[in-house]
Amino acid sequence: MNVPLSLLLFAQLIGTAATTTTGSEYVSLEDQLLGEGSLTGRRTGRLYCRVGIGFHLQIHPDGRVNGTHEPNSLSVLELFAVSQGVVGIRGVFSNRFLAMNRRGRLHAIEKFTEDCKFRERFQENSYNTYASVTHKNHRTGREWFVALNKRGKAKMGSSPRVKSQHVSTHFLPRLYLHEKTEQGFTITDRHKERTKQAPPKPPAPKRAINTGHKRPQTVKYWPKFRFG
């Protein structure tokens, strides 16, 4: 290899390294998760909790998290996969991510952080539970779950009453499919297909409507011819 050519290649490598380190902006965790092609398993729908009279988890634009009995725009959520068994929950209308702080309190934030990661587990009763990946009871190892009380308020995940066996932590995903397609088939009998169907009945004659006006009578006149 010639010396000038090797120097040229070395200069190109230095230039590309400089642009990637100093010229480009810092890529946040949210941009990495929401980047094109890095996000898989998007699911849009609602999370229904069967506690009390039944509530849908909703995220407000001001960061509040609670439940509503009647579904609305605040209860439309987007669940996306972060890693195997770990999901993130975003409010479509509020554009905020569900998070749990170190005290176990549920809230919503604008940027996706480690507090927004929840471990999704499928229960035997067809409901799901969502436990915080980052925060838990480090002394006993007990996980902190997303939960609502019977009045629709968010419960503290650090509460000893919030367990995976309690109905307050059970959520049923009610997903919304943008494209619904139905495919099916029918089995028919050949003998039934060969039988001739009865001819359709002729339509009943229309009845004349009495409008109160008499129809003019047509008078036929035959002229008489005389010869002679």
Q: What is the pLDDT of residue 125?
A: 87
Q: What is the pLDDT of residue 205?
A: 64
3-state SS record for 3-58:
HHHHHHHHHHHHHHHHHHHHHCCCCCHHHHHHCCCCCEEEEEEEEEECCCCCEEEE
Q: What is the pLDDT of residue 207?
A: 62
Q: What is the pLDDT of residue 175?
A: 82
What are the two backbone dihedrals, phi and then psi, of residue 62, each rounded to the nearest 5 degrees? -85, 5
Q: What is the pLDDT of residue 32?
A: 46
Could you tell me the domains of the chain?
39-175 (2.80.10.50)
Return d(Cα 5, Cα 12) in angstroms, integer.
11
Q: What is the pLDDT of residue 11?
A: 54
Q: What is the pLDDT of residue 184?
A: 40
Q: What is the pLDDT of residue 93?
A: 95
Tens-digit pLDDT string for the chain (228 aa) = 445 555 554 555 454 444 444 334 445 544 443 343 344 468 999 999 999 999 999 999 999 999 999 999 999 999 999 999 999 999 999 999 999 999 999 999 999 999 999 999 999 888 999 999 999 998 888 999 999 999 999 999 999 889 999 999 999 999 864 434 343 434 445 555 555 565 667 776 666 555 565 566 655 555 555 554
Q: What is the pLDDT of residue 68?
A: 96
Q: What is the pLDDT of residue 185?
A: 39
**Residue with the two structure tokens 């990495």:** 32
